[in-house]
Structure 1
């Protein structure tokens, strides 16, 4: 973890803004741009040229910003919400003083969030920051053979499965009664969606936490319903006829900026308790 203004911000001066413009938001963005220019920051037209990538919107917009800019591990991602603070957004367009203070004080730090590497049928690879979900595309259950490091662990039948990161554990995973996981853990969590348990199919029936270095393989059992929907974070992917999905914790995390007085468990308490 890197701390202090010099380490976090001093050598990062090229900024790329990611947002969907509308008249009201544009006015707020222009005010924040003035603050940035005042402290020596410059806007760039392409995300590849940026040291800092700033998304304006909620957590969903932050996920899109990371995905659309290629999960860069050499840039710093910053989330600015236009309303209620989220898990990835520590700043708000209505609190300009807090944004300016972050540029000139040491009350900020960089967090490294684990991401997932996913490979489908040895052909298509992509990353996830929140979760990977594999679900039936029709009103019918389907079966998945689950392997951990090439060891056949179980055969699942149900509506689908979700593999989440620690930060994604508070999202779709939590709605499935998955565990909330500390983002400092380099891990991934496998959670079932409406599993069937009978004499033919038997699953663990609880979330499973897997350490960094493990490889999870989901093999779709071909029994007539072999066209599941695959979604990465908040985006459904146009992948059809998939047979084998491999998931692991990526070697390189993404780096995000947050205020030191806004810890992960403070966000959990604010959101759920």
Structure 2
């Protein structure tokens, strides 16, 4: 590990179990000349401890930093597609960091802009859903050309790494994260003579622009999900989504590819 990357910030939800389990890791890090900092802006390695949900929060709460590496550590039986390390085997992690047995993996990020005003980043997915017990109507535009009019429970726009999450539960494809793209999947679409959609997921390349125009027929507060956080934003007219220039750089073990982790998780 480079001498420039010695400042560690740990992101986790404190509880008695984690506080006890992390103490030996803190001591081991200090013994090997790593410094543990209390402010994420001072870190060049940000370590999340928990599972994929905690990893997503760590990236979001620290502003999708482009000048640092993110590391995921699983705790207990948490899912860990973003997490290469296990809390019960932290000696392996420190040894790997000291002996350069790591590689840097770059994950695509999507940028979501609400009403051409506020922009947000997502590592997993952005979803637009109705907050009412009724369907939502969305005009779908690709590069400003009307593609379809959707009516149903909502739409999910997922990154390649997010394709194994909410997207997969809707029968969307699992996408290799080395492909710079994003995927659009339907939630319970209603197809009839008035509303007609493709009826399947579709994948857009890195230079495409997706615009979701929400028809205001009572859905004045549609729910916008960004990774594992939900926002009820008033008077949403348009949601524009592009592949961002940002990438999340994560640390991976050389012998632990994305597809090996997908295999362990789902097969």
What TM-score bracket applies, with the shorter chain setting the length?
over 0.9
Q: Shift in Å at residue 21 of structure 1?
A: 1.2
Task: Please give the alpha-carbon distance, in whole angstroms, between the structure 2 residues aligned to 1:149 and 1:212.
Answer: 12
Gaps in structure 2 of 5+ consecutive residues = none
Instruction: Give the corresponding residue for 2:37.
Output: 44
Q: Answer yes or no: is 1:56 the counterpart of 2:49.
A: yes
Q: Answer yes or no: is 1:198 the counterpart of 2:207.
A: no
Matches within 5 A, 1:122-133: 122-133=116-127
Task: Please give the alpha-carbon distance, in whole angstroms, between the structure 1 residues aligned to 2:232 and 2:31.
Answer: 44
Q: Answer yes or no: is 1:88 the counterpart of 2:45.
A: no
Selected match of 1:20 from 3, 13, 17: 13
Instruction: Give the corresponding residue for 2:4.
Output: 11
In structure 1, the residue corresponding to 2:188 is in which secondary structure?
strand
Q: Shift in Å at residue 114 of structure 1?
A: 0.5
RMSD after superposition: 1.1
Matches within 5 A, 1:180-199: 180-199=174-193
Instruction: Give the corresponding residue for 1:66.
Output: 59
Aligned partners of 1:142 and 1:226 also within 8 Å:
no
Aligned partners of 2:221 and 2:232 also within 8 Å:
no
Instruction: Give the corresponding residue for 1:108.
Output: 102
TM-score, normalisation: structure 2 = 0.97
Task: Please give the alpha-carbon distance, in whole angstroms, between the structure 2 residues aligned to 1:82 and 1:121.
Answer: 39
Instruction: Give the corresponding residue for 1:160.
Output: 154
Task: Please give the alpha-carbon distance, in whole angstroms, between the structure 1 residues aligned to 2:261 and 2:132.
Answer: 36
Q: Shift in Å at residue 236 of structure 1?
A: 0.5
Selected match of 1:30 from 1, 23, 29: 23
Gaps in structure 1 of 5+ consecutive residues = none
Aligned partners of 2:48 and 2:73 also within 8 Å:
yes
In structure 2, the residue corresponding to 1:94 is in which secondary structure?
helix
Instruction: Give the corresponding residue for 1:224.
Output: 218
Q: Shift in Å at residue 206 of structure 1?
A: 0.7
